[in-house]
């Protein structure tokens, strides 16, 4: 607990990664095709599973930042930042270009696609994790207990 007090921003990286993981169990897209609407749950796609592992990796990196001593924390912060940034970028792409994202994300023929709640949750978690990682750089590394 003492280490968390030395670097409270790490909690943002841990929680943000966990939120990204949770978002993959929700629908990220609603795809309108010839057969009607189809909700695409992220965990059911290969790309969604990749995003799940990115969120999980970001959370693990946050835990490793918390327990690491000395300058080793910067390696874990950087890796967590990259994982969280990739997850946030994927969610942002889905919001900006839902049709293009649907072609990459889900193997469906879409007439049009729109964002669903999971995409917003994933973006929020990714942004929280990125901010947590960025603010983690600010705190000095803990000294050996």
Alpha-carbon Rg for the chain, nearest whole angstrom, is: 17
Which pLDDT tens digit goes with each residue over 90-119?
Answer: 999 999 988 888 888 877 665 788 999 999
**pLDDT above 60 (res 145):** no
Q: Which pLDDT tens digit goes with each residue over 27-61?
A: 999 988 777 788 899 999 999 999 999 999 999 99
- Asked if 40 and 102 count as a contact pair (C-beta separation under 8 A), the reply is yes
Residue 83 has pLDDT above 60, yes or no: yes
Rounded Cα gap, residues 105 and 94, in angstroms: 9
- The answer to whether the pTM exceeds 0.85 is yes
Classified as helix, coil or strand, 35 is coil
Q: Is 60 left (phi over 0), alpha (psi -120 to 50) or beta?
A: alpha
Q: Are 9 and 136 in contact (CB under 8 A)?
A: yes
Query: What span, in angstroms and rounded, lies between the C-alpha atoms of 11 and 23?
Result: 18
Domain positions in the chain: 2-136
């Amino acid at each position: 607990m003492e280490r968390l007090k030395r670097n409270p921003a790490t909690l943002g990286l841990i929680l943000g990664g966990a939120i990204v993981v949770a978002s993959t169990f929700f629908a990220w897209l609603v795809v309108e095709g010839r057969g009607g609407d189809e909700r695409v749950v992220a965990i059911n796609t290969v790309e969604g599973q990749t995003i799940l592992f990115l969120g999980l990796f970001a959370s693990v990196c946050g835990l490793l930042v918390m327990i690491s001593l000395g300058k080793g924390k910067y390696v874990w912060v950087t890796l967590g930042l990259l994982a969280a940034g990739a997850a946030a970028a994927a969610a942002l792409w889905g919001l900006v270009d839902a049709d293009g994202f649907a072609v990459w994300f889900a193997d469906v023929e879409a007439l049009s696609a729109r964002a669903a709640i999971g995409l917003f949750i994933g973006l929020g978690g990714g942004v929280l994790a990125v901010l947590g990682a960025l603010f983690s750089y600010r705190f000095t590394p803990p000294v050996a207990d």
